[in-house]
A and B are shown apart, each in its own frame.
Chain A
Amino acid sequence: AILASRCELYGGFPCRDSGAVACGKRWPLPVVSPRWLGSLHAPEENLVCLPPRSAFVISPRFLRRLRMEKSASCDSLSSKPSSSRQPSVDSLSSATTSRSERSVYAKSVSAMSSDSVSTSTDNFSPELRVLREANKLAEMEEPPLLPGESIKDMAKDVTYICPFTGPIRGTLTVTNYKLYFKSMERDPPFVLDAPLGVINRVEKIGGASSRGENPYGLEIVCKDIKNLRFAHKQEGHTRRSIFENLMKFAFPVSNNLPLFAYEYSETFPENGWKLYDPISEYKRQGLPNESWRITKINERYELCDTYPAILVVPANILDEELKKIAAFRSRSRIPVLSWIHPESQATITRCSQPMVGVSGRRSKDDEKYLQSIMDANAQSHKLFIFDARPSVNAVANKAKGGGYESEDAYQNAELVFLDIHNIHVMRESLRKLKEIVYPDIEESHWLSNLESTHWLEHIKLILAGALRIADKVESGKTSTVIHCSDGWDRTAQLTSLAMLMLDSYYRTIRGFEVMIEKEWLCFGHRFQLRVGHGDKNHADADRSPVFLQFIDCVWQMTRQFPNAFEFNEFFLITILDHLYSCLFGTFLLNSEQLRMKEDLPKRTISLWSYINNQIEDFTNPLYVNCFNHVLYPVASMRHLELWVAYYIRWNPRMRPQEPVHQRYKELLAKRTELQKRVEELQKEVSNRSIPTSSDKVSSPVHSATPVQTAV
């Protein structure tokens, strides 16, 4: 069920069926610039119209099995009608928990059949039931449901105006979690499946008297670089109820409804909420030590409500002093340790801007505090303060009481501005980017258009900033303090990227999850505001793609170091998809304090539970675990690329014809196989070498380790 739902959620990316259709069965696949098509007079069936990535293509074989399964489950239903719902749920959860059962079909079938059972009993209004019974087609076009999900509205004879393959007629369903459109007109059936969380705004198009082709309908603007357009029949009045239900369930927060994450009732073997434990993470870094201590002053979030409960501060600063420093930092976000170099003891510390103001206020405590951060690192007698903002903005902030550290007040500190623009500039840049990539790409001016969005330039600045920090810590052995205005947007980007460069642990799947938990969630990146979960106020100036930019930077790094990351591109895309989907509790709310107050770990499921449950889908087969390797990505324009697989993924023309995940699977398998073989042989070698001489025993092991690291 997980797999099936995932397939549908993420645009069929991991769907084996679509791969087969695209690459094997429908050979050959000639898709070229349309201008050739006319001249070729190719017979229709040779031109394979690839469905957009959003389509989950179902093979005939799958359908056959589905039908069989359905009839079977209906049989069981008729024999035991009263308890029909319970067993189906049971069978579903057992299918998800049993890891031995790897068949995609089995899982998706069980999901499909269970929904057909569960929905038939109580989720239908009488009218819908009539509709359903009258129309076999509608039955085929029903969505599979997640546990906790229920159908809220359904409209048949709706036309989806696909910008790539033209209008398609089918059934549109709205549940409390997703928007689901399925058409049996095409073979294989066309499916569009989007979580309601990605919806940015819904607009009505045309009136009852509008003329032309498909003039009357809905336009749905999504957060993940796509728009959906549906046309309704003017006479059916289906648009109104669909619109109302969309407005209600896509924006539950505005309607005082709970987000779907609170209703989602899937079970996973691992609890992702337990993944990050600050104490053990700091312990991994070797903390506390003689110069750094762990403080619980913020246990009740009284010192700073956007900071986590557990903080690491210089050992010689008392809790009382921390309170004074908090008064001098914007939103009380005092400098605290994010990462410490295991050898040089150089640190990355983060905070918000000092409240210098126009008058140039100073705080003796703050100065002493930064001094002790510097003193904690014996290797260097300098401290670098990185202000992520452009210096103009930093100066402008003085008028609002903020500002930056003056080098006169802070002895031995050097202040560097990193010129990264604020959230509003980033939002605008992404808007421009969407304009040029969706739905059509203007081929002749592609590169100059891309340049005019400045998106890659922003990415470059962020990467370059993180690179400078990493370089100062690694090569300069100097401690660093990083802040922007409030220390939750650009600061989080910079610290986490620098940590990713410096520490190979964060390049593993679990390590990366820990880093997101630590640097982003605990340190109060305001996900609720930046993403606007379930909020209909789409023009909110607080929304900004800050986290998306961070993931993009990570992707750029994976491009430059294909062997250094344990996770693959699909992992990053999955994280971004669930940033918007509201299926998991991970990215909800603004701070650790609020999450604890709402008791999210009890009431919702963590994204990490889901990801760690099927970790092989997210594993990069080329990964080599190299400890203590510092990555210095090149932050130059010519090394950066647009992340086509994310930003232009809905365009079927941009999709690679070979399913990448399949290749990854094979490579991973190959790798395990070889590793096994190597182990066997090593055993054999060491067995043989024991009688000859003692030094030979170690030699195979010795020779093996470096090669393995180089794989």
Chain B
Amino acid sequence: FVFFFSLQVEQVKLLDRFSSNTTKSSGTLYLTATHLIFIDSSPGSQNEIWILHHHIAVVEKLALTATGCPLVIHCKNFRVVHFVIPKERDCHDIYNSLLQLSRPVTHTELYAFSYNPKKNERERELGWKLVDLTEEYKHMGVPNENWQLSDVNRGYKICDTYPSDLYVPRTATKPIIVGSSKFRSKGRFPVLSYYHKEKQAAICRCSQPLSGFSARCLEDEHMLQAISKANPNNRYMYVMDTRPKLNAMANRAAGKGYENEDHYYNIRFQFVGIENIHVMRASLQKLMEVIGTKALSVNDYFSGLESSGWLRHIKAVLDAGIFLTKAVACEGASVLVHCSDGWDRTAQVCSIGSLLLDPYYRTMKGFMVLIEKDWISFGHKFSDRCGQVDGDPKEISPVFTQFLDCVWQLTEQFPRAFEFNEGFLIHVHDHIHSCQFGNFLGNCQKQRELLNLPPPLYLYCPFLLTTLQKLKTKTKPSGACSLFCSAYLSFEQTHWITNCTSHHLLKCLHECCSYNHLHLNTNPSYGQEILTRSIFKKLKKFRGEPLDLSHNSPKQVLYQRSSSPVLKAPNCKGEHILLPVSDNIRTVEGSTNGDGFHEYPAAFVKVEPTVVSLELGVARMTC
């Protein structure tokens, strides 16, 4: 990195808003082109705070006090930092600069365009190619005899917020598609989102029909029938309107609305009642107030939490996902999901559904594919929803945050079903806002192409993979030791926990938690893994030759668990029945021999139920 310190203020105090501890750390505040950096100058302290300008949501300048001018910075990743700057002038300068820097006007000002991790061209291209959606659809089992790749949207002719490659039923001809798209809001006609190979059922997505009070469109009706017919097992299909019924009715007055069951052949129509982006934004706002700054003393934390409604909304999204899953997995019926425009709630429900249906999406790679597929390519408006560039504040909404929260709730209920942990989710959440990588820039595929992203920008997935990789391969014994000891020690330090206000339901999302403790809670064998590897290394040194890690080494086993999806696409699709628990307990003591290890990964690594289903009592929802 090259730092341009446009501003440097010394003797800045950092207030800890959680501990009543009066010892404030003081240090120097640097303002660079991309970050606000605070470095603690007190001896022995290693405290550094780096805040990316894009992460800054609100900067507040409070009234002048005796010690200086307080400056409170609220971040989009729910971090709140409280500085006290000795001179009001400095404070004012910083305040103004931050205001400017945190609100870029055009996309080219974003960090992604200046971020340069010094990698060669080839690596960068590999990054862009890492997630190949065509491959992913093939993996899913399309195209096949019922579904085909359609080129109607090449050049974004029909729908500019859709990707150019779309999968539609074979029986849907071009006129039908075009006609249907004219009858759908923003031209977002029904297309395939997920195909369940075994049941031959499909999850499709679209936007609301322009039905108004009486309008109908034959092509659209044919389109739905084509989807329904593409599933030979089930004659009827579900149409899920993810909005509350009231909202859908209101939309009818504006010439939009929902499908009339009488007009469409064999559909079952269902509202699922997820509120709109404005309600969600307000709910998060309330939630933040409840868990916010002064709330530590508040006794009615629970009623506050309840009245924020956040958990209720999370439950609504999960309920909808479960409904979808049941329709596909139990009934084998195809489902068409839409909301108003089909890029917010629809994306949430489709991706939760896929996640519940297919264990592949519960791996790290699979999860990235899911985000690429259901969110990025189908035009979830990341740029608007996250407020990446200065725009309409009414467009900002925590839709994706909610999705991540839902996934987190699932990981809590199914601790074994997911390859990633909450740190991964925090990381994703941070980079949605960081604008450090090309993935989440812009609102849709077309806009990204116009921004001319591919050549100059780095992508998120490979970065994430390499960071995780890096963490996993930190094998130097000393390094590894300190890494894990410090991680464990942090338990001891009360301030660590209090600092990262970790306990509201997005407890994870609060603080850029260091990676150190990511594996701590989840992977007990991790320390041993490192240890084993370090010993392997040592052995290698003694031998002076590359050590052949025989296939029955524990290292191998763990690697399969931890990083195989990174290295190669996991083939964990299909039926995976949970470990045969009715059998005697796997005799593990004896399994140190080679055979035992062969058997082990199969039992240990891929033990996920194919369909994750869950119970959604509020009491189970952690907060």
Contacts and interface: CB of A to CB of B under 8 A. Distances in A.
A and B are interacting partners: yes
Interface in B485-544: 485, 487-488, 491-494, 497-498, 501-504, 520-521, 524-532, 534-536, 538-539, 542
Nearest to B608: A658
A665 B584 CA distance: 12
B521 A707 contact: no
Interface stretch (A135-143, A192-200, A226-234, A676-684): A676-684
Chain B interface category by residue count = 35 or more
Interface in B367-381: none
A622 interface: yes
Interface string B565-595: 0000000000001111110111011011000
Contacts of B538: 685, 700
A59 B583 CA distance: 11
A558 B542 CA distance: 42
A445 B160 CA distance: 44
Interface stretch (B130-138, B181-189, B207-215, B409-417): B409-417
A16 interface: yes
A654 B619 contact: yes
A126 interface: no
A451 B302 contact: yes
Given A663-B415, A677-B554, A709-B485, A31 B613 contact: yes
Contact of A27 (B542, B592, B609, B623): B609
Contact of A670 (B604, B614, B619): B604
A703 B503 CA distance: 34
B23 to A, nearest CB: 14
Contact of B488 (A46, A674, A710): A710
A28 B615 contact: no
A634 B494 contact: yes
Contacts of A241: none
A191 B268 CA distance: 39
B128 interface: no
B302 A450 contact: yes
B528 A30 contact: no
Contacts of B330: 28, 30, 40, 42, 46
B300 interface: yes
A74 interface: no
Contact of B485 (A17, A669, A706): A706
Interface stretch (A246-254, A579-587, A635-643): A635-643
B484 interface: yes
Contact of A703 (B326, B481, B492): B481
Contacts of B484: 706-707, 710-711
A678 B528 contact: yes
Interface string A625-636: 010011110101
Contact of A28 (B542, B554, B603, B610): B610
B577 A40 contact: no
Interface string B317-354: 00100110111011100000000000000000000000
Q: Is the interface of A mostly helix, strand, loop or mixed?
A: helix
Contacts of B81: none
Given A653-B615, A658-B414, A676-B592, A104 B584 contact: yes
Contacts of B415: 658, 663
A704 B618 contact: no
B296 interface: yes
B585 A665 contact: yes
Contact of B589 (A560, A642, A656, A672): A672
A359 B69 CA distance: 55
B42 interface: no
B306 A682 contact: no
Interface stretch (A18-26, A108-116, A418-426, A520-528): A18-26
B303 A710 contact: no
B153 interface: no
A457 interface: yes
Nearest to B526: A711
A671 interface: yes
Contacts of A671: 524-525, 528
Given A29-B613, A103-B584, A437-B619, A634 B498 contact: yes
Interface centre among A450, A564, A669 (most CB of B within 10 A): A669
Contacts of B527: 624, 707-708, 710-711
Given A42-B330, A673-B554, A688 B542 contact: yes
Given A447-B302, A708-B528, A681 B539 contact: yes
Contacts of B285: none
Nearest to B497: A634
Contacts of A685: 535, 538-539, 542
Contacts of B296: 636
Given A40-B327, A563-B488, A644-B620, A703 B477 contact: yes
A637 B592 contact: no
A677 B552 CA distance: 11
B609 A704 contact: no
Contacts of B254: none
A102 B584 contact: yes
A631 B492 contact: yes
Contacts of B417: 658
A621 B498 CA distance: 26
B617 interface: yes
Contacts of B588: 666, 669-670, 672-673
A451 B498 CA distance: 22
B270 A666 contact: no
B116 interface: no
A441 B525 contact: no
A641 B578 contact: no
A684 B541 CA distance: 13
B585 A667 contact: no
B127 to A, nearest CB: 33
B528 A666 contact: no
A688 B538 CA distance: 10
Q: Report which residue of B322, B501, B538 has the largest number of chain A beta carbons within 10 angstroms of its beta carbon.
A: B538
Given A634-B494, A663-B415, A657 B481 contact: no
Nearest to A636: B296
B492 A629 contact: yes
Contacts of A17: 581-582
B117 to A, nearest CB: 30
Given A644-B619, A711-B528, A102 B535 contact: no
A666 B491 CA distance: 25
A632 B494 contact: yes
Contact of B325 (A30, A663, A681, A704): A30
A24 B578 contact: yes
B300 A451 contact: yes
Nearest to B507: A638
B301 interface: yes
A445 B301 contact: no
A59 B306 contact: no
A648 interface: yes
A657 B611 CA distance: 12
B152 interface: no
B515 to A, nearest CB: 14
Nearest to A17: B582
Interface string A582-602: 000000000000000000000
Contacts of A651: 617
A681 B491 contact: no
Contacts of A666: 579, 586, 588, 603-604
Given A563-B524, A707-B528, 18 more contacts: A16-B585, A27-B609, A39-B268, A448-B303, A451-B300, A563-B520, A624-B488, A636-B296, A638-B504, A655-B615, A658-B414, A659-B581, A671-B524, A673-B591, A677-B532, A681-B535, A703-B478, A707-B480
21 contacts: A20-B582, A23-B609, A28-B611, A103-B584, A104-B584, A447-B302, A447-B618, A451-B300, A634-B503, A636-B498, A637-B302, A659-B581, A666-B588, A667-B524, A676-B592, A677-B554, A685-B535, A688-B539, A689-B542, A711-B525, A711-B526
Report the 9 A-B pairs with minimum CB-CB distance, sorted nearest first.
Answer: A669-B588, A710-B484, A711-B527, A447-B306, A674-B528, A20-B582, A451-B302, A638-B503, A703-B477
